[in-house]
Structure 1
Amino acid sequence: MSATSDSTTSSTTGTGKTSRKIVLWRHGQTAWNLERRFQGSTDIELTETGVAQARRAARLLASLRPDAIVSSDLRRASATAAELASITGLTVTHDEALRETFAGEWQGLTHDEILEKYGDQYAAWKRGEAVRRGGGELETEVAERAAPVVLAHVDRLPPSGTLVVVSHGGTIRTTIGRLLGLDSYYWEGLGGLSNCCWSVLGEGARGWRLMEHNAGTLPEPVLGDDD
């Protein structure tokens, strides 16, 4: 799949003076995060710490003056998005296509329990093989449902607009990989996102570029020859 479409690249000049940005923001902390319990599409609420994380991050992200917010409809993501909406006055659009990977029998299990019961499956997944963890979705299937939603909202942005996507670690990683045009084998190389941290994609002359990954502070300009 191409990293861009004609409408996506239309706002970028040959000199890159204007471009749209996508901020992909992971939800705040949940109790299952603390327990290292696989959440997947299970609808888990934020902890008090998670709410505080969302409020702090929202104050930072609001300074980017986002033009739109789209969020997974699961409570941990929608509650995170609501904190940014309350500051910016924007309306959050919820879309179930931005939910975390459905992982079937893995959901609700701790990391150690997954290794004990599904060790071979886990090892194959880590080797980069196409694995339906717990009988659930492939990572490529997650990207196929999530990335088009992100691009559809990007298409509605003004020339230098910013979209905030509030989602989940696995879904964000696969979406970034798809938008960058990376082979799915290499998506794991992007690494995970901490609770309420984000990644930033910006338009470049040849498509989307990863500008920030697993960030908790606002992006700084790249000064030097490799801008």
Structure 2
Amino acid sequence: MSARSGRRIVLWRHGQTSWNLESRFQGTIDIELTEVGVAQARRAARLLASLGPDAVISSDLRRTRATAAELAAVSGLPVSYDAGLRESYAGDWQGLTHAEIEDRFGEQYAAWKRGEPVRRGGGELETEVADRAAPVVREAVEKLPADGLLVVVSHGGTIRTTIGRLLGLAPESWEALGSVSNCCWSVLGESPRGWRLLEHNAGSLPEPVIGDDV
């Protein structure tokens, strides 16, 4: 990544939970971090703090609050919590493993995997998740200085849909962004053409951009 010019957004997924290990759909159910998840957050927080963030906002669920707390501890920044940054509400899917969802909701699950608009288990559409989460991020980043850095602590599905919305991508293409691993992050940078994806599913400090595409 080049030297700071324009605002940047780091979208940081929470650390590991026991339901992540079980491949169980969490949604808005309030699951805590494992000991490994806390250690992941502590390591990542030291790296992100070195970027000099100006503000931190977080989902209000326990797994994101605990992750954000590690960054607050090393950066000294307060954390603002917003329910708009919660994971997608997935209705009857929540608490089930992906195998159980596929078995009980096979057609719906297959349609979701194809990128079709689906109310998973009677829950939210991915566009509705973006409708609530992206404005929270936009409002927070607009308060930053011209070269400010915002850290957003959220969830895998919410991060993907928010990135898709901020980049102006068609919803059916959001799945192409791929997943974000526990305690990894993606970075968006402001440019004259709007937001750009600078890093995706990263777990180390961003590398400078050298070459013609700066």
Task: Tell me if both proteins adopt one fold, taking TM over 0.5 as the criterion.
Answer: yes
In the TM superposition, 1:25-44 aligns within 5 A as: 25-44=12-31
Q: Which runs of 5+ in 2 are unaligned?
A: none
Q: CA deviation at 1:222?
A: 1.0
1:146 aligns with 2:137: no
- For normalisation by structure 2, the TM-score amounts to 0.98
Code of the aligned partner of 1:105 = D
Contact residue 160 and residue 179 of structure 2 kept, 8 A: yes
Query: Which letter maps to 1:118?
Result: F
Query: What aligned pairs does 1:49-198 form with structure 2 within 5 A after superposition?
Result: 49-198=36-185
Q: After TM superposition, give the deviation of residue 17 of structure 1 in Å.
A: 7.2
Instruction: Tell me the number of residue pairs that the alignment of Structure 1 and Structure 2 aligns.
Output: 212
1:57 Cα deviation (Å)? 0.1
| Whole-angstrom distance in 2 between the partners of 1:17 and 1:211 | 12
Amino acid at match of 1:149: V
1:94 Cα offset (Å): 0.2
Which runs of no fewer than 5 residues in structure 1 stay unpaired?
A: 1-15
Which of structure 1's runs of 4+ aligned residues deviate more than 2 A?
none
Distance 2:27 2:115 in 1: 19
Q: Residues of 2 paired with 1:19 and 1:155: CA distance? A: 11
TM-score normalised over the length of structure 1? 0.92
Cα RMSD (Å):
1.0
Q: What is the one-letter code of the residue matched to 1:226?
A: D
Check whether the contact 2:13–2:185 (CA below 8 A) recurs between aligned residues.
yes
CA-CA distance at 1:221 after TM superposition: 1.0
Match of 2:198, SS?
strand
Matched, 1:199 2:186: yes
